[in-house]
Amino acid sequence: MNRAAARIDQVIPAIIEHDAVSNHTFEAQRLLRGLGHPSEIYASIIGPGTEGRVLPLAELARRAGPDQWLLYQCSIGSPAAGVFRDHPARKLLDYHNITPAPLVERWLPPLAAESRLGREQLRELAPLVEVALADSPFNRSELDEVGYRRTVVSPILVESGNFTADPDPELLGRLRGRHATTWLFVGQVAPHKAQHDIVRAFACYRQVYDPSARLCIVGREMGSAYRDAVGRFVAAIGLGDSVELPGSVSEASLAAYYEAADVFVCLSEHEGFCAPIIEAMARALPVVAYAAAAVPGTVGDGGVLLASKEPELVAAAVHEIVADQLERARLVAAGRAQAARFSLSGARRAFEEAITAAVAG
């Protein structure tokens, strides 16, 4: 078989709708097939809405053949890593980072165990992987640290609809009808995303600057314990219905939240990239973010980076964006320029170049 037509199948622990790594995996499949590589996706867990597009991992063993590669989408510990490890195909790895266990231990003990396993597996796979891709320089540094021989930065392939979808008109009308300063965060409702810190800063902002302000926290929950705790916190400090947690939403609804917001606030303790920051910038939404993990590289000079999450500091940074239209315009322009550096077309090109070089090599 011609090397250019080598089979490149993907292995992923779990595939879920409206999930950044899952969206990346589907887009990677489209690109691999576009390059002429036969490609299927194999998953241990196949979530609702993805049936028919993904094969059960148990079927992978029957697909072993000559000139075959496997690309492992790595973001958590999973038995899928063992299947990938033991398969005779040549190996590639795409690293989306693994959340440090201490950040989730209190609220999600099973996830902490999976995180520790994932770190062990990441080390174990290093000698077997010929080329490893990383979403960000931050992720690449972790791969280099644990012994991967060849690494390359290839930004995450963001779902195109998150950039281009038209906003749901009914939701947009409801959100805009309140005429209040609106904060937005998009991401899994999980302890390492630190939505509780956003609530603290938001409460300070309402007390000092705008008592009518609203906060929208959009994203599926990672277990109910943390989400319920955030809800109880919101109630306990008297924020009532000024905080909205709609869960996972459609592309059109997400576009409406971006369109209606005045500022995107990210206070995560750990991000391997944080695609919603790029989505916000691309939709002309100014960004205020805590400078942790990969976030400074994603924000660049396209937003406001904070060295601390003190509520007063976050609230003041948001107020400056809302009150100073010149500063807002400057940040919108800088954000759009930064988002263009991580455009889907650019990410596709980087992925294709990395795969082509790996297989040719």
What tens digit of pLDDT does each residue of 155-175 get? 999 877 778 899 999 999 999
pLDDT at 65: 79
Per-residue pLDDT at 1:
39
* Terminal-residue alpha carbon distance, the chain: 16
Give me the pLDDT at residue 3, please. Answer: 45
User: Residue 188 corresponds to which tokens in the numbers above?
Assistant: 């899994």
The per-residue pLDDT for range 338-350, each reduced to its tens digit, is 999 998 899 999 9
Confirm or reject CATH 3.30.830.10 for domain 161-341, answering yes or no: no
| pLDDT for the residue numbered 185 | 98
Among candidate residues 321, 45, 85, 11, the one with its CA nearest the CA of residue 182: 321
**pLDDT of amino acid 60:** 95
Return all residues near 260 (Cβ < 8 A) that are at least 6 apart.
167, 172, 175, 176, 182
The second-level CATH assignment, the architecture, of 3-158+344-360 is 3-Layer(aba) Sandwich (3.40)
Domains of the chain, by residue range, sit at: 3-158+344-360, 161-341
Full-model pTM: 0.93
Per-residue tokens: 227: 């989400």
Please determine whether the domains at 3-158+344-360 and 161-341 fall in the same fold group of CATH. Answer: yes
Which of the residues in the chain have pLDDT under 70? Answer: 1-4
